[in-house]
């Protein structure tokens, strides 16, 4: 099937991402202004910056996405749930939580699922929940099972990576496995290591329905207003 994608269509599925721990409130404000100019879907930021972003983006249509249990995922479920509830209260529209990798790698699927359920339960205002599985650390079977655990726990999306793990970020192969595991029932967010338009489109072709990008301006700048044949 042949598809075309414009710059605006790509922007509409981008979570514009700034998660450096040294980021200031002033930098978040400028980042939000850039997000509005780029016409992206949302900004993905640290939970302590949600209030700043929500106020700056009020009325713009750009969503606020908070990371939860970031970047290790090893926080107690109660801590993740509390962090998610506070982020929602501060104005987050979506939460991207990190799965507990130790539980996944240890095959403790009931506990890994319960960890996600704790965050899902804390989001009482209809916020979208994405589960970051850190796919570069996992085998194909573990990727598949992690996605199914996220689905069983009530997540809306599975997400490939934090972008902070030394094992790496999204790959086409991982996104294909994730997409196959959820089969359209959940969204798939590719994040980590996507630095150019070619890679972004490769992730979409593999099944990604959302992209987490820190290089949004550069990637969208590559496209101008042109249409890209798929």
CB proximity list for 216: less than 8 A, separation 6 or greater: 11, 14, 16, 17, 35, 38, 40
| Beta carbons of 159 and 133 less than 8 angstroms apart | yes
Instruction: Name the token pair of 218.
Output: 């550069």
Q: Pairing state of beta strands 227-229 and 4-6?
A: antiparallel
State both tokens at 168.
């790496």
Alpha-carbon span 222 to 74, nearest angstrom: 38
Residue with tokens 């042949």: 2
96 is catalytic: yes
Phi, psi (5° rounding) for residue 84? Answer: -65, -40
Q: Which of 15, 90, 93, 96 does the annotation list as catalytic?
A: 96
Spatial distance between the Cα atoms of 8 and 226, rounded to a whole number of angstroms? 10
Active-site residue, 130 included:
no
Helix (H) or strand (E) holding 98: strand 94-98
What is the distance between the alpha carbons of residues 21 and 31, in angstroms, rounded to a whole number? 14
Q: Catalytic residue at 189? A: yes
Q: Is 148 exposed, middle or buried (0-12, 13-18, 19+ CB in 10 A)?
A: middle
**Could you list the active site residues?**
96, 159, 189
């Amino acid at each position: 099937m042949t598809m075309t994608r414009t710059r605006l269509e790509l922007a509409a599925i981008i979570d514009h991402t700034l998660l450096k721990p040294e980021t200031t409130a002033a930098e978040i404000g400028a980042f939000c202004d850039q997000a509005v100019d780029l016409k992206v879907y949302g900004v993905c930021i640290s939970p302590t910056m949600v209030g700043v972003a929500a106020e700056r983006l009020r009325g713009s249509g750009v969503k606020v996405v908070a990371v939860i249990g970031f970047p290790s995922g090893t926080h107690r479920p109660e801590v993740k749930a509390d962090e998610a509830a506070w982020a929602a209260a501060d104005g987050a529209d979506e939460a991207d939580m990190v799965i507990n990798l130790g539980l996944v790698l240890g095959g403790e699927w009931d506990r890994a699922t319960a960890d996600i359920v704790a965050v899902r339960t804390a989001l009482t205002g209809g916020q979208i929940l994405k589960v970051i599985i850190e796919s570069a650390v996992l085998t194909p079977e573990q990727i598949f099972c992690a996605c199914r655990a996220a689905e069983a726990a009530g997540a809306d999306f599975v997400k490939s990576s934090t972008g902070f793990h030394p094992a790496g970020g999204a790959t086409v192969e991982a996104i294909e496995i994730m997409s196959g595991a959820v089969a359209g029932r959940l969204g798939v967010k590719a994040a980590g290591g996507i630095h150019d338009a070619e890679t972004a489109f490769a992730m979409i072709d593999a099944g990604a329905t959302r992209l987490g990008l820190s290089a949004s301006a550069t990637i969208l700048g590559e496209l101008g207003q042109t249409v890209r044949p798929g």
